Amino acid sequence: MRAALDAAREAAQAGEVPVGAVVMHEGKAIATAANAPRRLHDPTAHAEILAIREAARILGHERLEDCDLWVTLEPCAMCAGAIAHARIARLFYGASDPKGGAVEHGPRFFGQPTCHHRPEIYSGIGEAEAGALLRDFFRKRRT
């Protein structure tokens, strides 16, 4: 989660909502990404999507069955869907997101009958730091 928080800080410095993600495979971080939809002109460029795509490219397979995803914020519906499609084994996330999250809020996607893979889920890891980064970012943007 340390590397994911570092990526989130990089996102903030680039003017993006500070979220970072890391895909781990056999104990190694194989893909780390910062949220970047503005910089990349890509509405799908959330940290999770970028890290999953990079890991799948590296492993040469569209399924990441032996991989874990660490992300600083509760994934949205788009990212939760991608996590299921990728068959991610375990999901670790930091701050919860009542406004846009899709794990413990809104669609609660992994509990839906249309969800075909549910990772093990661990939340609240690095929550204080992840949440502080987000609050700080939005406070600065409002002023």
* Cα separation values, 34 from 59, 70, 118, 134, Å: 20, 12, 24, 13
* Cα separation values, 89 from 26, 65, 106, 132, Å: 12, 6, 22, 28
31, two tokens: 């893909």
85 forms part of the interface with its own copies (CB under 8 A): yes
91 forms part of the interface with its own copies (CB under 8 A): no
80 forms part of the interface with its own copies (CB under 8 A): yes
Nearer to its own copies, 13 or 112 (CB): 112
| Catalytic one of 10, 16, 26, 48 | 48
- Is 54 among the catalytic positions? no
Here's the x/- map for its own copies, 46-65, by CB under 8 A: it reads as ---x--xx--xx-xxxxxx-
- Would the annotation count 76 as a binding residue? yes
Contact between residue 36 and residue 16 where contact means Cβ atoms under 8 Å apart: yes
Phi-psi region of 88 (alpha: psi -120 to 50; beta: other; left: phi over 0): beta
- Would the annotation count 67 as a binding residue? no
67, two tokens: 């991989």
Known binding-site positions for Zn(2+): 46, 76, 79
Q: Catalytic residues, which ones?
A: 48
Binding site for its own copies (CB under 8 A): 37-38, 40-45, 49, 52-53, 56-57, 59-64, 76-82, 84-87, 98-102, 105-109, 112-116
